[in-house]
Amino acid sequence: MNTGRTVFSQLVEFLPHQEFQKCVARYSGGRYLKNWSCWDQYLAMAFAQLTYRESLRDIEACLRSIGGKLYHMGFRGKVARSTLADANESRDWRIYADFAQVLIAIARPLYAHDPIGVDLDQSLYALDSTTIDLCLSLFPWAKFRRHKAAIKMHTLLDLHGNIPTFIRITSGNVHDVNLLDEILPEAGAFYVMDRGYIDFQRLFVFTLSSAFFVVRTKSNVLLQRRSIKGEVKRKASPATGRRRSDGLAVQPK
C-alpha cells in the first residue's frame, strides 16, 4: 500500500537499485565515500529535475524543509549545498550515463507499439541539436563567440514514446554533422534529420547498415533524377499516385 508515502518514494521504487550499484562499482564510484553516496546524489538531482528546482540552494532549501521525510524518500545522507556541489564536480559522470542507458532499455519496450501517427512498424528516430547559451564570465571554458558562451546538446530521439537513446554534449562550435560518426545505425530503422546533417559520405553508412534516412536538402546540392534499371512499371497507387521508384544521384560540381 502507498498510504502515507510520498510520490517521490513511489517513483524511486521503480528504479533498479542493484543495476545502479553495478554502475557505481564499474567506475569505483563508492571509493572513499562516507556519508553522501552516489545514490543520494542521484536522488537529489532527480528530485531537483522533477520539482523544477533552479539552483543548488533551491535544492537544499526544499529538501531540508521536508527533513523528516528524507529517510522514507530514500536518502541516507544529510543534504548540504556544498556537499552536492562537490559531488557534481568530482564524481564520475559515466555512472549516471550508464544508468540512464539501463532505464532507457527498460522504458523503450513499454512504448514500442504506441501509435505515432505514421503507419510504420520499424523504429523511427529524430536527430537534432539545440544550443544552450551560457554566461561567458561564469563559463569561460565554453567560449562560443567573442562575447558569448554556449554548449550544444545533440539528441537522438526514439519517437515511440519520445525517449532519448543518444545524448552528447559538446562545445557550441561543433557542427551537427560530426555526430553522425558516433551513431551506430539500427538496421531497418528510419532516421529523420535536418539539412545540417547532409554529408553523403557519412550518410552512406546508414545505407550500408540497411537503415534509411530522411533529410532536408540544401539549395546548393545538385541532384539528378534517374530511373532504376530493369524496373517494371506498376499501376499507380490510389493513395499516393506513385507508379515507380526513382533514384537520385549527386552531380559533381
Q: What is the pLDDT of residues 79-133, one digit of tens each?
A: 888 889 998 888 999 999 999 999 999 988 888 787 777 777 788 999 999 999 9
CA distance 238 to 236: 6
The confidence band for 180, taking pLDDT boundaries of 50, 70 and 90, is: very high
pTM of this structure: 0.74
- pLDDT reading at 243 higher than 50: no
Percent above pLDDT 70 for the chain: 87
DSSP state, residue 8: H
The tens digit of pLDDT for each residue in 125-150 reads 999 999 999 988 888 888 888 888 99
C-alpha closest to that of 30 among 80, 76, 79, 81? 76
The confidence band for 249, taking pLDDT boundaries of 50, 70 and 90, is: low
The tens digit of pLDDT for each residue in 15-25 reads 999 999 999 99
- Name, of 24-38, 156-170, 217-231, 233-247, the range with top average pLDDT: 156-170
Average pLDDT over every residue of 34-62? 90
C-alpha closest to that of 211 among 231, 197, 192, 229? 192
